[in-house]
């Protein structure tokens, strides 16, 4: 299929502002061992919050479907998929010290990857402008040949690869989960057509995501990592977006923008040390909506990743819904660089690493 190209500065295009979303009880059927943080209540909390926020009246629920063999094979090794298909369906056990499976996990995992992919294609082709996928198990830690970090299949990677196969010339994935999405990072490491941007706590699990990790030889600059110290909140995240991510997105101009939307940077999350508030997530979502409206013909979709405080999950995804389903807003003024010196150094370190590699990121006000 011939490559498509996003409109340039023309505002939202196909879909006329319509929202598509994924909600299904199959994602609750991925049952967790007692005490495990990646539990069905996560999906239930987001479902209940979005229902209370009126998502049914503000969008259209899409039919859940399993990922096809071809969709999975674009991002995962055949032997790995064979192993999962043999070991997981109808059984309970562990794939590593963190990543469990239960009798309906395989159904949920296939549905998470397939429905995320379908929603992304619906956004790409104009059925919707915006999308929200409330799926589990999460996906961004799953590498081409390994399950880890609660993840079996890389949902957002499958969706991005499908978008490329369906004609998107460029796809961007922005990952604001508190943990670096090492799986997505690795899958697209040497692919210049997929831009991967991550802001995460660093150093922290899984240990990757340094500022100097820029992409493979064919894709220098297509991986952008900003690792912030524990304790950062709304102001530091706004600065990352305005000084690094939005200028890079304006330069890259993706045909569709995907968000790996984890909410474990929330100030009360039990597994991390960040201090992002619900208004902080709303500010990030509004910035990305404005960026997509300007540079990606309005095409944007958010996919649930981590987040283990139920209020943070429900409130965070409700903030995304408000940003996507509400009226278009212009980008706010550029946030100042942080007064937190380590956070400021992290942002500047990313900018310096890209400039030194010949892949300089434009100034914050270059495309405003």
Instruction: Tell me if 163 sits within 8 A of 248, measured CB to CB.
Output: no
User: In the predicted model, is pLDDT for residue 1 greater than 60?
Assistant: no
Cα 287–301–366 angle (5° rounding)?
Answer: 30
Which of 130, 140, 141, 185 is an active site residue? 141
Separation in Å, CA 331 to CA 283, 334, 368 = 10, 8, 8
Q: What is the mean pLDDT of residues 115-126?
A: 98
Q: What is the DSSP letter of 187?
A: H
User: In the predicted model, is pLDDT for residue 85 greater than 80?
Assistant: yes
pLDDT at 368: 79
User: In the predicted model, is pLDDT for residue 8 greater than 50?
Assistant: no
pLDDT at 4: 64
User: In the predicted model, is pLDDT for residue 363 greater than 90?
Assistant: yes
Q: Rounded to whole angstroms, how far apart are CA atoms 28 and 88? A: 17
Separation in Å, CA 77 to CA 2, 84, 85, 129, 140 = 26, 11, 13, 32, 16
User: In the predicted model, is pLDDT for residue 11 greater than 50?
Assistant: no
Q: Rounded to whole angstroms, how far apart are CA atoms 271 and 283? A: 23
pLDDT at 7: 42
Higher pLDDT, 209 or 1: 209
pLDDT at 117: 99
User: In the predicted model, is pLDDT for residue 256 greater than 80?
Assistant: yes
Work out the pLDDT band at 9, boundaries 50, 70, 90.
Answer: very low
pLDDT over 70 percentage in the chain: 96
pLDDT over 90 percentage in the chain: 95
Catalytic residue at 141? yes
Q: Residue 260: beta bridge partners?
A: 175, 303
Helix/strand/coil (H/E/C) assignment for every residue in 190-237? CCCCEEEEEEEECCCCCCCCCCCCCCCCCCCCCEEEEEECCCCEHHHH
Q: Rounded to whole angstroms, how far apart are CA atoms 187 and 76? A: 8
Q: Rounded to whole angstroms, how far apart are CA atoms 265 and 305? A: 12
**Domain boundaries defined on the chain:** 19-356
Sign of the dihedral defined by the CA atoms of residues 133, 139, 144, 145, in that order:
negative
Report which secondary-structure segment, H or E, holds 45: helix 40-52
Q: What is the mean pLDDT of residues 283-311?
A: 98
pLDDT at 366: 86
Sign of the dihedral defined by the CA atoms of residues 107, 261, 196, 22, in that order:
positive
pLDDT at 357: 98
Query: Hey, what CATH topology would domain 19-356 get?
Result: 3.40.800
User: In the predicted model, is pLDDT for residue 261 greater than 70?
Assistant: yes
pLDDT at 2: 46
Across the chain, mean pLDDT equals: 96
Instruction: Tell me if 306 sits within 8 A of 313, measured CB to CB.
Output: no
Q: What is the mean pLDDT of residues 277-286?
A: 98
pLDDT at 367: 81
CA dihedral (356, 360, 363, 364) in degrees, to 10, reads: -110
Q: What is the mean pLDDT of residues 174-184?
A: 99
Work out the pLDDT band at 15, boundaries 50, 70, 90.
Answer: low
Q: What is the mean pLDDT of residues 88-110?
A: 98
pTM of the predicted model as reported, rounded to 2 decimal places: 0.96
pLDDT at 17: 76
Report which secondary-structure segment, H or E, holds 130: strand 130-133
């Amino acid at each position: 299929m011939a490559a498509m190209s996003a409109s340039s500065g023309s505002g939202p295009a196909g879909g006329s502002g319509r929202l598509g979303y994924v909600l299904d009880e199959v994602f609750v059927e991925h049952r967790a061992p007692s005490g495990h943080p990646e539990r069905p209540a996560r999906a239930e909390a987001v479902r209940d919050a979005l229902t209370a926020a009126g998502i049914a009246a503000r969008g259209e629920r899409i039919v859940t479907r399993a990922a096809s063999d071809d969709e999975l094979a674009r991002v995962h090794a055949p032997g790995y998929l064979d192993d999962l298909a043999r070991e997981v369906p109808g059984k309970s056990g562990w794939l590593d010290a963190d990543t469990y499976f239960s009798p309906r996990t395989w159904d949920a995992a296939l549905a998470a990857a397939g429905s995320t992919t379908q929603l992304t294609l619906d956004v790409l082709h104009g059925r919707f402008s915006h999308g929200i996928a409330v799926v589990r198990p999460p996906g961004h830690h799953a590498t081409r040949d390994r399950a880890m970090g609660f993840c079996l299949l890389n949902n957002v990677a499958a969706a991005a690869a499908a978008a490329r196969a369906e004609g998107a010339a460029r796809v961007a994935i922005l990952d604001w989960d508190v943990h670096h999405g090492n799986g997505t990072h690795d899958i697209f490491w040497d692919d210049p057509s997929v831009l991967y941007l991550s802001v995460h706590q660093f150093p922290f699990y899984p240990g990757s995501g340094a500022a100097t990790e820029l992409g493979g030889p064919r894709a220098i600059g297509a991986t952008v990592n900003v690792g912030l110290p524990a304790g950062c909140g709304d102001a530091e995240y706004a600065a990352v977006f305005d000084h690094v991510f939005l200028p890079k997105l304006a330069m890259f101009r993706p045909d569709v923008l995907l968000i790996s939307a984890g909410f474990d940077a929330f100030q009360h999350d039990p597994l991390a040390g960040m201090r992002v508030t619900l208004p902080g997530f709303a500010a990030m979502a509004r910035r990305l909506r404005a960026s997509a409206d300007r540079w990606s013909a309005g095409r944007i979709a958010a996919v649930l990743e981590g987040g283990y405080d139920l209020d943070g999950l429900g409130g965070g995804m409700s903030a995304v819904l408000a940003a996507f389903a509400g009226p278009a807003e212009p980008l706010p003024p550029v946030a100042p660089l942080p007064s937190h010196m380590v956070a400021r150094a992290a942002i500047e370190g990313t900018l310096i690493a890209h400039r030194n590699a010949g892949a300089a990121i434009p100034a914050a006000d270059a495309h405003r």
